[in-house]
Structure 1
Amino acid sequence: STTQDLKRTSAALEATQADLSAAKARLQDALTESMRAQFAYSADIAELKAELAKSAEGLERSSAALEASKADLGKQQQAAKEEQVAAARELMRLEELSKDA
């Protein structure tokens, strides 16, 4: 009968509405989880960028210190060469004096 058909249709519509509500809730949960994951991902990216910046700064400092050490070593080598030349000259002078004596 028509009343029975209406009741079945109404029950089917209610079941469909319940399914839709459940699907909407699942979608909302998925969206919430996606937003949480995106936030965590963004935070991880920011942390990695900060670590990378720190590493770059450390590398720059190390590079500058290395260059300063190389420059200092160059100065020390030059001073040592100058001392060797002076010592060789003094030795030659003393040898000349001993020949003359």
Structure 2
Amino acid sequence: MSVSHSAHAVYGVVVAPPRQQEALDESLRAQAHRPASGNSADVRVQLFTVGDGEHIVLGAGYEHLGPSTYRAVPSLPASKGWDDALLEQVGNLGLTVLSGPCWHIVHDLG
């Protein structure tokens, strides 16, 4: 059995696992039905889970970090509307923020 690794820099918030995972999933799916407005303030929040769901990150931006690569964290851009979009999603769902909003390095095994 082979093991795969993935590593991303994710701009987001780490949240406590929600009591109602279905509500979180539905809220994130509903974003797909928004018409593309071209407005940079319309940020799509994505879900990143680490391990078996014990760590949940809601991300507004991310960058894949490939093998044998590096990035200086200060060089990672953050858009103006990301904090607002993340905190709105957290507030709408009554989630508890454990960390962020900031850049997180997410390394997972698959």
> TM-score, normalized by length of structure 1?
0.17
Asked which structure has the greater CA Rg, the reply is 1
> TM-score, normalized by length of structure 2?
0.16
* Higher helix residue share: 1
* Higher strand residue share: 2
